[in-house]
Structure 1
């Protein structure tokens, strides 16, 4: 798995050179700007709602009053750290839902970008079919809903664990790895559907190559550390990098050789 994670990370550098060489910027910038605007609006409303949720939850349980009565710096510190962990888990959970909505909206562009990337690498073209495009979009929506369901189950379970002092401190890391896997899964699936893998076959294939999915998602999230530029480039770079990582997997060409 570690080797595949490294391959996925290296694919982002290859993606940058590929995009620059073949002048694919219009397929990168336009969806990236839309993503950034939605991201900023979404995070603003999330931050307001999360503050209200955490405060109301603490007041309902009486944690704030109990801590005031205990007058213990250690307990206050532990519960403060727990509150921070809860906020992080909530942020990742919200971002996950936001991400799938954007993936559904942007699926036609991302599917085309993945197809164009592979077509250039292999020196051939994939014939355009509107019927196939609609089928791909429908498939993408179904898989996005499936991934949303499973990821929500994992995240809610981890959210419950995050309320446990000390134990909950490692939960955000676990949640982030789950996030990375499911985002990378969506990016890799564009290539899987183009190679006629059924949804169940795609799930099985990507499940065998979790490192590629996790590595792709890791860099996608790390790009958000860079304000604006990273947000604009992250979604489309992830698509191109995922396509390239499958192409260069173990120096083999094509998913058929999995």
Structure 2
């Protein structure tokens, strides 16, 4: 029963987050992940383009011995890996790189909700960033371990992996770990260590899955920035090309605003759940908290 209550709380927090962003003009943060994602994708596409030209034109025809062949294969593997990581996982990299900003936004939201303030400390800021990256990498590792296990079980029992009912568990697992990453920003300010945060989120997994599910839907939309930036054949089919460009632009914007919207929603949900105004580790301004929360 609590799972459902917590799940509904997480979903409702997104509606609150949209109004909160508008009311407090936090939309100025939205272009940052959009531009960062575009930059990462561009670098990745350049790597992929360079690799395809290099391998197609040169190949290993110039290799004269085993050492040159090995170096060629390592170079090929490295270039392909970098290109795929930057192009296919740009949305994940953005979240890690945005960790400092997401921490700041979460504090801003909490201050406006509760009047809580946290004195600036470079040492604490660096600790927060390291913790955020550590949590993100931990969650990615666990998510992919579970993914591989489910994939193996599905491959053994079914001819088509995606026909296995177990395969769809990968989505729920991803939802949980994404939600975990965003909720942990608040738990850190509550001075919960990582083990305590893990225990807390397991007891409120409905909230984590709700927060992570909406975020996943936003970032998993099929964005092709190459098509968004390409106007080839525009004179021949202007409406088709513009329709494709606008559709990809909309998908790109949804993926770009996801980190900001989610950190706001996660902070609001945590305030509704545990009442962050009671956080004994925060300083408080002399404001009427009941008025702020209205």
Superposed counterparts of 1:221-240, under 5 Å: 221-224=216-219, 225=221, 227-240=251-264
Aligned to 2:101: 109
Q: Taking structure 2 as the reference length, what is the TM-score of the superposition?
A: 0.63
Q: Aligned in 2, Cα 1:221/1:37: closer, same or farther, shift over 3 Å?
A: farther
Give the CA deviation at 1:36.
5.2
Cα offset, 1:228, TM superposition: 1.9
Question: Secondary structure in 1 aligned to 2:33?
Answer: helix
Q: What are the superposed Cα offsets for residues 51-94 of structure 1, whole Å, 9 maximum, x if unpaired?
A: xxxxxxxxxxxxxxxxxxxxxxxxxxxxxxxxxxxxxxxx9xx9
Decide whether aligned partners of structure 1 residues 45 and 112 sit closer, same or farther in structure 2, where only a CA change above 3 A counts: same
| Alpha-carbon shift at residue 196 of structure 1 (Å) | 0.7
1:40 offset after TM fit, Å? 8.2
Q: In the alignment, which of 109, 132, 135 is matched to residue 143 of structure 1? A: 135
- 1:214 and 1:195 map into 2 onto residues whose CA distance is 21
CA pair 256-7 structure 1, distance change in 2 beyond 3 A: same
In 2 relative to 1, CA 196–22 (structure 1 residues): closer, same or farther, beyond 3 Å?
same
Instruction: Please report the TM-score for the alignment, with normalisation by the length of structure 1.
Output: 0.71
Cα distance in 2 between the residues matched to 1:143 and 1:207:
15
Cα distance, 1:22 vs structure 2: 0.4
Task: Between the two structures, name the one with larger relative contact order (CA 8 Å, sep ≥ 6).
Answer: 1
Change (3 A) 1:8 1:39: farther
- Contact 2:91 2:255 survives alignment (8 Å): no
Residue 160 (structure 1) aligned with residue 152 (structure 2): yes
2:54 paired residue number: none
Contact 1:100/1:144 (8 A) holds in 2:
no
Structure 2 segments unaligned to the other structure (5+ residues): 49-83, 222-249, 280-294
Inter-CA distance 256–210: structure 2 relative to 1 (3 Å threshold): farther
Question: Paired residue for 2:276?
Answer: 254
Shift, 1:103, TM fit? 2.8
Q: Deviations over 1:6-63 (max 9, x none)?
A: 11111111001001000011222212332355468779999xxxxxxxxxxxxxxxxx
Taking only aligned residues, the RMSD between alpha carbons, in angstroms, comes to: 2.9
> Paired residues, what number?
208
Match of 1:35 in 2: 37
